[in-house]
Structure 1
Amino acid sequence: MTATRVIEPVVEPVTLTEMKAHLRLTGTVEDAFLEQLIASARAQVEQETRRALITQSWRLYLDGWPLGRVVQLPVAPVQGISQILVFDEDGVPHALSEGDWRLDKSTSPARIRVKPGAGLPSSAVMSIEIDFTAGYGTAASDVPADLRQSVRLLAAHWFEYREAGTELAMASMPHGLDRLLAANRVRLL
């Protein structure tokens, strides 16, 4: 199973104005750098928690259906499924109809149950593609406050300790970040 982000989020969960207020900055000299730090911190928080903070598109590649034909999606929260493609022996994609599968968003991670006999893949590697949308919403305000705080803490830490080799930068993380991330981490079974 391999998952890749197909479409990046359009906005970040923390605005430049919010980040500057957090750091008590008033000038504009560091704005471009802060925007890069916010994007990097969001990506790190998403990787650590297996969550998509802002709406984004993903593609999951499978070699075949897992036992029970239940597929756990590796990123949460899932908003919906765009399509499920199954490739035949000749590499021709066939879309499963919505009646062939059911999305269960009541669990975390969300999962898809595929009907028996639907979409029999070939023996080729990566013969199934599942396109889905994940994230809390399209606006920063849609993201839970503790995850937004995680992004702010991490971006502020990187801003303050931008020298890569310093002892403090290497040996410490922002106070409480590990607990914020652990409380939001999606467990994979």
Structure 2
Amino acid sequence: MMLVEMTAPPVEALPVSGLRAHLRLARGFEIADDSSETAALTGFLRAAMATVEARTGKVLLSRQFRMRLENWRDCEAQTLPLAPVNSIDRIDVDDGAGRVTVLDRESYRLVADLQRPILAPRSAFLPTVPQGGSVSVIFSAGFGTAWEAIPADLAQAVLLLAARYHEDRTFEGSQAAMPFGVSALVERWRSVRVLGGRGASRGRT
């Protein structure tokens, strides 16, 4: 499986001012905004978001992804690797010879779930993927477009982790261990993912 993030959250959606306040960085009428500082804080927030998302499998701010498979894990239902999924935007089947077919939206449906969202067929099975071909599922996932839509504990975890990255910025390398406070906040959101689907890949028919 290959998973690609097709869009990124806009800077305006990130709580840069909240991180600045958390760090107690100077800011006032007599102090001009420092663009380099803002860029650095934005980078820390994006890095912290990526870490929390990787640990939990949850997408915080809404954006679009593409999942590419050589075949379905299970022809009766394909588990999606991230949550919460809001929509299946398109499914393309490549026959391996350069011809791509867009599947009819009426042939599949999204089974929404906060832990294991599923792409399910409306008939008995998902459409067959040709030998040597692939299927690409383009979907949108995330709690919302605004920071306020993110669950409070996950939002706080990102803020704490971004603050740690800021504090450790003068050190070479990075600390592999996640701070205990951050781990405690994200623990209940973690999900166990097995093989990216309901079972082992079945043979092609």
TM-score range, shorter chain: 0.7 to 0.9
Q: For residues 106 and 50 of structure 1, do their structure 2 counterparts lie closer, same or farther at Cα, with a shift above 3 Å needed?
A: closer
1:131: which partner in 2? 138
The match for 2:130 is: 122
Read off the aligned partner of 2:185 and give its amino acid letter.
L
Q: Equivalences for 1:52-71 in 2 at 5 Å? A: 52-71=59-78
Whether contact under 8 Å (1:13, 1:42) holds in the other structure is no
Given candidates 43, 51, 64, the residue that maps to 2:58 is: 51
SS at match of 1:69: coil
| Contact preservation (8 Å) 2:161, 2:179 | yes
The residue aligned with 1:176 is 181
Matched, 1:18 2:23: no
**Per-residue deviation, 1:84:** 0.9
1:95 deviation in Å? 1.4
TM-superposed deviation, 1:174? 3.1
Give 3-state SS (helix, strand or coil) of 1:123's partner.
coil
Partner of 1:161: 168
Cα distance in 2 between the residues matched to 1:182 and 1:4:
25
Superposition TM-score, scaled by structure 1 size: 0.87
The equivalent of 2:154 in structure 1 is 147
Shift of 1:41: 0.9
Cα RMSD for the two superposed structures: 2.2
For 1:161, the aligned partner's letter is D
1:106 pairs with 2:113:
yes
Q: How far, CA to CA, are the matches of 1:73 and 1:118 in structure 2?
A: 14
How big is the shift at 1:145? 0.8
Q: C-alpha displacement at 1:31, in angstroms?
A: 2.5
Answer yes or no: is the 8 Å Cα contact 2:76–2:125 preserved in 1.
Answer: no
Query: What residue is the counterpart of 1:186 in the other structure?
Result: 191
SS at match of 1:66: coil
- Which deviations, in whole Å up to 9, do the C-alpha atoms of 1:78-125 show, x marking residues without a partner? 010101111225331111112211210035220111234653211115
- Contact 1:157–1:173 at 8 Å: present in 2 too? no
Q: Which residue of 2 aligns with 1:7?
A: 7
Identity of aligned residues (%): 32
How many Å apart are 1:66 and its aligned residue? 2.2
The residue type equivalent to 2:109 in the other structure is R
Contact 2:57–2:83 at 8 Å: present in 1 too?
A: yes
Deviation at 1:160, TM superposition (A): 1.3
Aligned length: 186
Structure 1 match to 2:85: 78
